[in-house]
Structure 1
Amino acid sequence: MTKANTPEWIKAELARVEEAQARGQVEQTSRLRACSAHYDTRKKLIVIALENGSSFSFPPQLAQGLGNAQASELTDIEISPLGTGLHWPKLDADLTVEGLLAGLFGSRSWMRTHAAKAGRVRSIAKAQAAKVNGAKGGRPRKSAATPA
């Protein structure tokens, strides 16, 4: 097959190879890969050490599949061969290092549900703000858009 009659789908896949190689080079230079991970039972945090010398920690309650886990289940953490993911075999839970650093503690649907629950939380500050807004007449009405 000559280059002139190469199907479009092959050309598209070859273009993706170049993109993947470029992404891989960025990942190599940023060194945002886990070199160790453990559960700190005293602080009740999962601590991840990265190849670039920094570390990151988070409470397991924030992450999908880890919220109701026992300490003995959280201490068994496996790091993927490239250091890009974490796996808890006793919980069958997986998270990516890049996602954790970006604040993504689960799948899109889980994060959507988690965010919806967080928005329904009642607090003293939220109740006081609602009371103040109610005294002002509540939420302002939408005004009709004026033509330009």
Structure 2
Amino acid sequence: MAITDQQMQAARAQAQKIKSHVPQATGASYNPDTGLVCIRLSNGIVIGLPAAQTQGLETADEDALSSINISPSGYGIHFPGLDVDLYLPALMEGIFGTKAWMAERGRKGGQATTKAKKAAARENGKLGGRPRKAVEAEEPARPGKRKAA
């Protein structure tokens, strides 16, 4: 299936929008003393990425970590010796691997505690908690309680 001119223009517009909000990588190096991959950004900031906590880099040796390429867009970081590609915007959001990989290391989502989340949990608890599946079909719905779809 061929891409239309309209789709190409939309993709270019989206890329421009991203470029205006997210800095690009201008350089990268590995520091064996700290274990950090240091990424220089177009806005002058340098971020340190812990290799030992990043999917694909966690067991790599110093030589493999020392060879780093930046993609032409500035959003990709490639380690040719490892055949590992990292996406800079995701790294800046603290996403150092796939969801499954991060979950194995205890970085699971949904663990934030806020006043709003606590209040919602209390309100839901007042409704009697989760209904039992076998009982739910037999009992009429209680006021204020929704049935699962």
TM-score by length of 2: 0.64
The answer to whether residue 100 in structure 2 is matched with residue 112 in structure 1 is yes
2:86 to 95, 98, 118: 95
Structure 1's 77 and 143: CA in aligned 2 closer, same or farther, altered over 3 A?
Answer: closer
In structure 2, the CA distance between the partners of 1:15 and 1:62, relative to structure 1 (3 Å rule), is farther
What amino acid maps onto 2:23 in structure 1?
A: L
In structure 2, relative to structure 1, the CA distance for the partners of 1:14 and 1:46 (3 Å cut) is: same
Which letter maps to 1:97?
L
- Report the Cα offset of residue 47 of structure 1: 0.8
Preserved CA contact (<8 Å) 2:55 2:101: no
Q: Decide whether the 8 Å contact of 1:30 with 1:52 is kept in 2.
A: no
1:50 and 1:14 mapped to 2: Cα distance? 32
Aligned counterparts of 2:101 and 2:59: Cα–Cα separation in 1? 16
Q: CA deviation at 1:142?
A: 3.5
Matched, 1:81 2:72: yes
Letter in structure 2 aligned against 1:114: M
Higher mean displacement: 61-70 or 20-29: 20-29
Structure 2 residue identity aligned to 1:101: M
CA distance 1:16–1:36, change in 2 (3 Å): same
Determine the structure 1 residue equivalent to 2:50.
59
Task: Compute the displacement of 1:48 (Å).
Answer: 0.4
Identity %: 31
Contact map agreement 1:31 1:52 (CA 8 A) in 2? no
Deviations 1:63-119 (A, max 9, x none): 21100011221111111122121111111111111121122222x3xx323313427
- Alignment pair present for 1:30 and 2:21: yes
Off by >6 Å, runs of 4+ in structure 1: none
- Unpaired stretches in structure 1, ≥5 consecutive residues: 1-8, 121-140
* TM-score, length-scaled by structure 1: 0.65
Q: Distance between the aligned counterparts of 1:92 and 1:55, measured in 2?
A: 23
Q: CA RMSD in A?
A: 2.7
Kindly state the Cα deviation for residue 21 of structure 1 after the two structures are TM-superposed.
2.2
Q: Say if 1:77 and 1:88, in contact at 8 Å, map to a contact too.
A: yes
> What is the alpha-carbon distance in structure 1 between the residues aligned to residue 130 and residue 8 of structure 2?
51
Q: How many residues align?
A: 116
